[in-house]
Amino acid sequence: FTVRYGTLDRTNGPTVAVSKVNRHASYSSSTIDYDIATFTLSAAFAPGTNAAVVPLASTVPADGSAVRVTGWGRLSSGGTLPTALQKATTLTVTNRATCQSRWGSTNSITARMLCAHSTSQSACNGDSGGPLVQNGVQVGVVSWGPSTCLSTTYPTIYVNVANLRTWITSNSS
């Protein structure tokens, strides 16, 4: 498959082929833990206005701090896919214990997960694998969340980049 970059339009812009997918060996589809992979691209891409190398977090963002997610996922559960890149800017990091109590026995919120929530914006189907950033640094990767996408109760779950940074960097070329 290919990766599109350098554009805010899902249907136009340059692409580069993926030559290898590096999946985390400990990934579990039942717990959704270690939900991370890196791509090896078949060619280099040229950074520009809409494409850049983003630094990876080395520390977990503080509870209650603001984060932003972007993606071309659905605008609502079962809704349409947008052509223009979307962003959710009202998210805040949710304490792991609070996140676990809200999700209950649905799934364990592990150290490899980061929770963020807003009652007005969220990631949705199709945003998986997309970046969660804080001050230009990638702190998370969209993993899973409520089937309704936007929820007053349930935070969305992201891969904790700081926790898996060593794996990410050693599996990137």
If one counts every other C-beta atom within 10 angstroms of the C-beta of residue 143, the result is 23
| Closest residue by Cα to residue 154 from 112, 109, 110 | 109
Backbone angles phi and psi of 114, in degrees to 5: -135, 135
52, two tokens:
């850049």
> Would you mind telling me the total number of residues written for the chain in this entry?
173
Which residues are the active-site residues?
Answer: 35, 128
Q: What is the rounded distance in angstroms from the CA atom of residue 10 to the CA atom of residue 82?
A: 8
Q: What is the rounded distance in angstroms from the CA atom of residue 153 to the CA atom of residue 164?
A: 27
List helix spans (H) across 91-138.
96-103
